[in-house]
Amino acid sequence: MKLYDDKLAPNPRRVRIFLAEKGVSVPVVNVEIFKNEHKTPEYRKLNALSGVPVLELDDGDVIAETVAICRYFEEMHPEPPMFGVDMRDRAKVEMWNRRMELSLFVPVAMVMRHTHPRLAALQTQFKDWGEYNKGVVAKIWTWLDRELSDGRPFIAGQRYTIADITALCAADFAKFARVPWGAEHPHVQSWHDRVSARPSAKA
């Protein structure tokens, strides 16, 4: 089994944190997006969409998509459970992970891709779209801060889950994209301190 990884990109980091929480180690192949290594014919054979991460199984089969890879490891190593523990909890974790992906991670990625000078070499940038998404991210921090003001320790409730991993990677990416949360978001700050203190955050 091999995990195709880029140390600077947020989606592969989600898988690395997930594996660290599970205490599982997988051989890694580094694919440097900034060197366009994900656009080579060899890599496109693994994933024609050229996204990172990818998990290649021992029989050559390939699983792409961050959450699909995490679900594969969840089945293989169920403890600790990261996708919820019962019917209601699994639905809530799915809800929160989707929210963190679609409402936080994606707009942060749009800001990064369309405004950050380092990304200009990799793709066409639509500056207006990037600027628009700065406002989207700002509103999401305010919404998330209000959500977390109920005192729950983690995004989906009392347990650390995949939703925290998605949100942590989005939050750290937001700092890089220059759209972090602010002093007016103390609940986001304490959640971020809590999840960043876990050893897995260094993965």
Ligand X SMILES: N[C@@H](CCC(=O)N[C@@H](CS)C(=O)NCC(=O)O)C(=O)O
Interior angle at CA 107, CA 101 and CA 112, nearest 5: 115
Placement of tokens 């990109």 in the chain: 9
Question: In terms of DSSP bridges, do strands 2-5 and 28-30 run parallel, antiparallel, or are they unpaired?
Answer: parallel
Residue facing ligand X at closest CB distance:
51
CB of 172 to ligand X, least distance (A): 12
CB of 72 to ligand X, least distance (A): 13
CB of 36 to ligand X, least distance (A): 8
Is 20 or 122 the residue whose CB approaches ligand X more closely? 122
For residues 154 and 167, give the distance between their C-alpha atoms in angstroms, rounded to a whole number: 10
Asked if 6 contacts 32 with a C-beta cutoff of 8 angstroms, the reply is yes
DSSP 201: G
Q: How far is CA 147 from the centre of its chain?
A: 20
CB of 177 to ligand X, least distance (A): 12
Is 67 or 188 the residue whose CB approaches ligand X more closely? 67
Is 148 or 177 the residue whose CB approaches ligand X more closely? 177
- Which long-range CB contacts under 8 A does 193-199 form with residues at least 24 apart? 194/153, 194/154, 195/154, 195/160, 195/164, 195/167, 195/168, 196/168, 198/21, 198/160, 199/20
CB of 142 to ligand X, least distance (A): 25
Is 76 or 102 the residue whose CB approaches ligand X more closely? 102
Contact residues: ligand X, CB under 6 A: 9-11, 33, 38, 50-52, 65-66
Is 50 or 125 the residue whose CB approaches ligand X more closely? 50
Is 68 or 85 the residue whose CB approaches ligand X more closely? 68
CB of 158 to ligand X, least distance (A): 26
- Listed in sequence order, the residues at least 6 apart from 150 whose beta carbon sits closer than 8 Å to its beta carbon are none
